[in-house]
Structures are given as C-alpha cells and as structure tokens.
Amino acid sequence: MFKATLYFLKTNSRRLILLSLFSLLTYSSFFFLSYIVNPAQATIDFTSQTGFPLNVLFFIIESVITHYILIFEVILPVMHKEKGAGKGFLIALLLFWIKFSLNYSWFLFERNYLQHNIATSSATVLPQNSIGWLLAISFLLNLVTSFSAALLVEWVHKGRERIILEKQKTEAELSALKHQINPHFLFNSLSFIYGKVIKLDKETADSVLILANIMRYALGKSDSIDGKVNIMDELEHMKNVIEINQRRHNHALNIRYEEQIDDQSMSILPLVLITLVENAFKHGDLHDPAHPLLIKVATGVNEFFFDIRNKKGKGIKELSNGVGLQNISQQLGLTYGNRFTFLIDDQGNSFNVSLKITYPI
C-alpha cells in the first residue's frame, strides 16, 4: 500500500502540484472576498478551532482529491470512452455523497463549537437547513471547474499529439524525399571502376573519384539531429559537381562562381544547392561566353544567400537525381517553415533561382 501510494505521488506529481496551486488560489480568493465584506466574521470562519494553517491544508487536500477524481477518473475517461457515462455518473455521485457526509458532519461540529465558545457568532452561524443547498452548489461548482480543467487538459494533450504527429510526418516526408537521391548501385559501380582505371588513366580515374565522392556525400547521413550539414561540406561537394561537368566538357563550360562565407558554422539542408547546380547543367546552355552560369553564395548575420542564373538551352543530361524544384521547395518548407524564400524567375532566355534562409538568433 505504501509503495503504491509513493508510485502514485511520483507519477502524478505534476498534476497534484497544479491542482494544489489552483486550490490554494481558490481558498485565497474566498478568504479575500469574505474579509472585504466582514473582516471579523471572516477571521472566525476561516480560523475556527483548528486554526488557519490547518484549515488551508484540509481545504487543499479535499479540493485536490475532488478535482483529481472528477477530471482524471470521471470526465476524461468518459470523454475518451474508456468508461461509460453511467459508471462515471456513479463515481461522481459516490464522491458527492462522501463529501456531503464529511462536510455536513464537520459543519455540525463547527456550529456546536462556535455556539458554545463564541457568543457573538450565534447570529451569523449558517442555518442548518441551508447547509445542504450550500454543499450541493459547492459540488456543482467543483463539477464546472473540473470540466473546464478537463477541456484544457484535453486541448493541451491534443496539441502535443498534433505536434508529435506533424514532426513524425515531417521526418517521414524528409526521409522519403532524401531516399529519392540515394543511388547506392551507382556509387558501388563507380568505386569498382576507379579501382580498374587508376593504373591506366589517372585523369579519368580522378574524375571517377570525384563522382564517387559526390555519391558518397549523397548517400551519407548527417550526424546532426536535425539532419542538416555544415555549409562548407555542401559547398565542397557542389564544387565537385561543377568540376566533374567541366572535366567532361574539357573545361569549355562558362561558369562564374562567387563566394563570400563570413560564417562557416552555418548548417543547411543537404543536397539542395547541389541539386540547383545540377538543374543548371541539365537544362542550361553554358557554352555562350556572353551568358555564363552565374553562382553566388554568401552568408550574412544569421542569413544565407544563394543565387544561380543560366541561359536556357537544350541542356546537358548530367547527374540528374530525380528531385525537381518542387521537391526542393517542399524540403525547405518542411525544414525551415517560414524562415526561407525560394524564388524562381523563368523569363525569356534566362532561368534564375534565388534562395534566402534566415537562421534564428
């Protein structure tokens, strides 16, 4: 019995503390209002023969027990259909009968004490035929406050469930999106080819190694809990994508790259920048010196900027990983919420994508 009581107090400590604070606030409010109306009578009523501290303690204990039973044993179980309405009503009725019996007996005891020990109180003692109505109204008030508290508890619980479900949904969607860009077979094949070619053609083998490193990065899992990677890692492999395309076309592609990274500790969702660069190689015309591929990367105070512009053309079918601009926008939305802007400007002969991410301070 003792262990069961300790376990109950331990597992429900937060609920009991909140109910105790609420009960103390209620008692203080009653005392304050009574004291304003009649200070002398309030002192008598709230001290009686047991004294003010014990009266407060008894009130809190009774109030906590009453509200706990009504909220967590009657109202919420009935709302969740864990208990039938009839069973809940019987528990509430039994609780009312116990409270009525105890409070009525205590009223008679207190009334007898006041009449025999405090002469001036006889005119202000509550009539015996009114105590029943007072106790019934008091219990009705307990029902109302308990029902209100139960609705609040249910609302908080639903809110937490909704947050957890949204987080699980976000993680599942991010995982599904990321798995679209996991070319396991290609990575293993590139590693095999590199081992065969290194002795015959070092330049080709280096190109294969660069491509293998890109695939390794795509397959890798971030050590960060939020699934992001350091901005320098993303930029390194983005440059690998640029290099592998330049090697294929004998460095004949026109690319202008500008980088200003003041904060190297920033993190970013992996493969987003790489995919945007791949998109430019796939769909852009990069052979015109007058219209080179422009890539700008910069970091500001708690901000990251990325801009890429290319001349539209038939495109180079290169390194497409199956994730389009729509999926990129979806990934960014799931990860950054409203802390990013992703603008696409598709006009005339040029195609421009701008990304800005704001990081919390």
Same domain, 271 and 165: no
Higher pLDDT, 112 or 310: 310
54-63, 135-144, 148-157, 341-350 — most confident range: 341-350
> CA-to-CA distance for 289 and 239, rounded, in angstroms?
20
> CA-to-CA distance for 167 and 170, rounded, in angstroms?
5
In this predicted structure, what is the pLDDT of residue 234? 92
Strand pairing report for 293-300 and 267-268: unpaired
Higher pLDDT, 161 or 111: 161
Of 145, 152, 183, the residue nearest 271 (C-alpha): 183
In this predicted structure, what is the pLDDT of residue 318? 43
φ/ψ bin of 182: left (φ > 0), alpha (ψ from -120 to 50), beta (otherwise): beta
Same domain, 8 and 152: yes
Give the residue-averaged pLDDT of 164-173: 72
Same domain, 165 and 259: no
With residue 306 as reference, give the H or E element that holds it. Answer: strand 303-311
In this predicted structure, what is the pLDDT of residue 130? 63
Q: Does residue 294 fall inside a structural domain? A: yes
Same domain, 22 and 148: yes
Q: For all residues of the chain together, what is the average pLDDT? A: 79
Residue 321 confidence (pLDDT) above 60: no
Same domain, 270 and 144: no
Cα separations in angstroms, 267 against 166, 224, 232, 278, 299? 23, 9, 8, 21, 11
In this predicted structure, what is the pLDDT of residue 141? 84
Of 151, 146, 116, the residue nearest 22 (C-alpha): 146
Residue 205 confidence (pLDDT) above 70: yes
Same domain, 38 and 147: yes
In this predicted structure, what is the pLDDT of residue 259? 95
Q: Does residue 109 fall inside a structural domain? A: yes
Same domain, 42 and 169: yes
* Residues, the chain: 361
CA-angle at 31, arms to 110 and 29, nearest 5° = 135
Which of 80-86's residues contact partners 24+ apart within 8 Å by CB, and which partners? none
Total count of domains within the chain: 2
In this predicted structure, what is the pLDDT of residue 179? 56
pTM of the model: 0.47
> CA-to-CA distance for 142 and 144, rounded, in angstroms?
5
In this predicted structure, what is the pLDDT of residue 170? 73
Return the percent helix, strand and coil in the chain, to nearest 5: 65, 15, 20
The three-class DSSP label of residue 255 is strand
Q: Does residue 239 fall inside a structural domain? A: no
Mean pLDDT is lowest, of 191-195, 319-323, 351-355, for 319-323
Question: Where among 174, 204, 233 does a domain terminate?
Answer: 174
Give the residue-averaged pLDDT of 4-24: 82
Cα separations in angstroms, 195 against 189, 207, 208, 219, 322? 10, 12, 10, 20, 28
pLDDT digits (tens, 9 = 90+) for 73-112: 888 888 877 788 888 888 888 888 888 788 777 777 766 7
Higher pLDDT, 347 or 252: 252
pLDDT tier for residue 122 given thresholds of 50, 70 and 90 = very low
Higher pLDDT, 260 or 55: 260
Higher pLDDT, 30 or 157: 157
Same domain, 163 and 272: no
Question: Where among 110, 141, 174 does a domain terminate?
Answer: 174
Place of tokens 């009725």: 93
With residue 215 as reference, give the H or E element that holds it. Answer: helix 202-219
Residue 308 confidence (pLDDT) above 90: yes
Same domain, 119 and 13: yes
Q: Does residue 224 fall inside a structural domain? A: no
Q: Does residue 222 fall inside a structural domain? A: no
Give the residue-averaged pLDDT of 219-229: 68
Share of residues in the chain with pLDDT > 90 (%): 18
> CA-to-CA distance for 310 and 54, rounded, in angstroms?
81
In this predicted structure, what is the pLDDT of residue 177? 60
Same domain, 159 and 12: yes
Higher pLDDT, 52 or 274: 274
Cβ atoms of 321 and 273 within 8 Å: the answer is no
Same domain, 169 and 269: no
Count the neighbouring beta carbons within 10 Å of the beta carbon of residue 162. Answer: 10
In this predicted structure, what is the pLDDT of residue 207? 84
What domain range is 86 assigned to? 2-174
Mean pLDDT is lowest, of 132-141, 181-190, 225-234, for 181-190
Q: Does residue 300 fall inside a structural domain? A: yes
pLDDT tier for residue 273 given thresholds of 50, 70 and 90 = very high
Question: Where among 148, 174, 200 does a domain terminate?
Answer: 174
Q: Does residue 191 fall inside a structural domain? A: no
Exposure of 204 in the CB half-sphere (CA atoms within 13 A): 10
pLDDT tier for residue 343 given thresholds of 50, 70 and 90 = very high
CATH number (domain holding residue 263)? 3.30.565.10
Q: Does residue 192 fall inside a structural domain? A: no
In this predicted structure, what is the pLDDT of residue 320? 41
Same domain, 44 and 157: yes
Of 273, 277, 287, the residue nearest 331 (C-alpha): 273
In this predicted structure, what is the pLDDT of residue 317? 44
